[in-house]
Amino acid sequence: MASAFAHAALGATLGKLLLPHPRHWPYWVAAALCAALPDVDSVGYRLGVPYASLWGHRGLTHSLLAAAVVAAVGTLLGQVAHPARRPAAARLALLLFLATASHGLLDALTTGGLGVAFFSPWHPERYFFPFRPIKVSPLSIRAFLGAKGLRVLASEAVWVGLPCLMLLLLGQRWRQHQRLGSANK
Ligand SMILES: [Zn+2]
């Protein structure tokens, strides 16, 4: 897996891009949580669930189906928010789906473990991208708190942090451009 920090950073970036207004910051946090959520399966891994099984690490919880379920549940929960603070349901659903699905995309760019079962439960095959620059993060917190963890974070800073920063800057420039365009009409 990539570390929870990398997943959360990408989720929050997607939140800021799709719901940019500052009043929507709780949805940036929700997107960050959704992006880290699929690794709940590491609990099962510690309890002995075989890695390559349906419920194993990077199995069903990392699938596009799981992302759709998380998006549907999250969008329903979002309906309790005050109408003035609530984004359009379709946009919230899209954000939560993309944030949760982004988890598998990052994992498929890592250097270790088994691939990601994107199409589980229908197709249990595990996939990696041909280009895998992100150093895989250890599952154990103890192993993460050492030199290995630092190497993982350095690799994620380059391959996740910088692209997120660039996306945020591009989003900001695009919104400025839109504002100038509508002011000149
Ligand atoms: Zn994962």
> Is the Cβ–Cβ distance between 164 and 13 less than 8 Å?
yes
SS3 call for 116: strand
Neighbours of ion ligand 1 (CB under 5 A): 1, 39, 107
> Is the Cβ–Cβ distance between 58 and 2 less than 8 Å?
no
Q: How confident is the model at residue 81 (pLDDT cuts 50, 70, 90)?
A: confident
Helix, strand counts (H, E) of the chain? 8, 0
Q: How far apart are CA 123 and CA 74, in angstroms?
A: 25
In this prediction, residues 40-59 reach a mean pLDDT of 91
22 CA from centroid of ligand 1 (Å)? 29
- Flag whether the pTM goes above 0.75: yes
Q: How far apart are CA 168 and CA 122, in angstroms?
A: 35
Phi, psi of 110 (to 5 degrees): -90, 165
